[in-house]
Amino acid sequence: MQGKKNEQRHQQLLKEKKQLEESRPHDIEEMRRWKHSMGKILQELELYKK
């Protein structure tokens, strides 16, 4: 059961990453928030690499 939850979370993170990549802002303040969000997603995705 735990494996299925992990796979769902992994897919959710990939989806969020794709959405962020498609909506990259140009404003400096927005870019800081974007970069923070992307960093957190990428950091969590590192846990799923095998």
Task: Give per-residue pLDDT as tens, 3-34.
Answer: 778 889 999 999 999 999 999 999 999 999 99
The pTM of the full predicted model, rounded to 2 decimals, is: 0.79
Q: Residue 23: its pLDDT value, please? A: 93
Q: Give, to the nearest 10 degrees, the angle between helix 28-46 and helix 2-22.
A: 150
Quote the Cα angle for 44-46-48, to 5°.
90
What pLDDT is attached to residue 10? 92
